[in-house]
């Protein structure tokens, strides 16, 4: 439990470690790593297939994205599926952050909640249900 007291650092480390294990079991690995590392997960957008760039002004060996006309059927379908999967993962990640925020606040003592509410940034943190910021 997060609490106001003399050994706050030890309590924070222990509680956050236990919380990350719980989050890892109930939610996604990315959500667990948010709690462990205290930073948002960055999803990498799928990239287009590359082809050699043959324009005269470019270094030999340089590449460029294929144009839509240059993509074959399999490449188009692969990109489409990758984009859908990426968007779905981002959506699920964002949906997970709200209940995770609630779990974190639920692990705070009444004294800790009162102390957090006294902070000027608390209202924004609460409105956004930001688990990183609340920690």
Tens digits of pLDDT across the chain (135 residues): 888 777 888 888 999 999 999 999 999 999 999 999 999 999 999 999 999 888 767 677 888 899 999 999 999 999 999 999 999 999 999 999 999 999 999 999 999 999 999 999 999 999 999 999 999
Cα torsion at 51, 89, 31, 49 (round to 10°)?
0
Phi, then psi, of 31 in degrees rounded to 5: -65, -40
State the Cα–Cα distance between residues 13 and 11, nearest whole angstrom: 6
**Cβ 3 vs Cβ 113: under 8 Å:** no
State the Cα–Cα distance between residues 125 and 135, nearest whole angstrom: 10
Task: Burial-class residue 7 by CB neighbours within 10 Å (0-12, 13-18, 19+).
Answer: exposed
pTM, whole model, 2 decimals? Answer: 0.77
**Cβ 3 vs Cβ 107: under 8 Å:** no
């Amino acid at each position: 439990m997060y609490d106001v007291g003399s050994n706050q650092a030890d309590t924070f480390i222990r509680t956050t470690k236990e919380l990350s294990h719980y989050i890892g079991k109930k939610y996604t690995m990315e959500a667990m790593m948010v709690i462990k590392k205290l930073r948002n997960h960055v999803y990498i957008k799928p990239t287009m297939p590359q082809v050699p760039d043959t324009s005269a002004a470019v270094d030999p060996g340089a590449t460029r994205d294929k144009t839509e006309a240059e993509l074959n059927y399999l490449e188009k379908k692969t990109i489409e599926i990758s984009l859908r999967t990426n968007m779905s993962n981002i959506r699920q990640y964002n949906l997970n952050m709200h209940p995770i925020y609630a779990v974190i606040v639920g692990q705070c003592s009444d004294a800790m909640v009162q102390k957090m509410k006294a902070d000027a940034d608390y209202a924004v943190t609460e409105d956004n249900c930001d688990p990183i910021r609340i920690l």
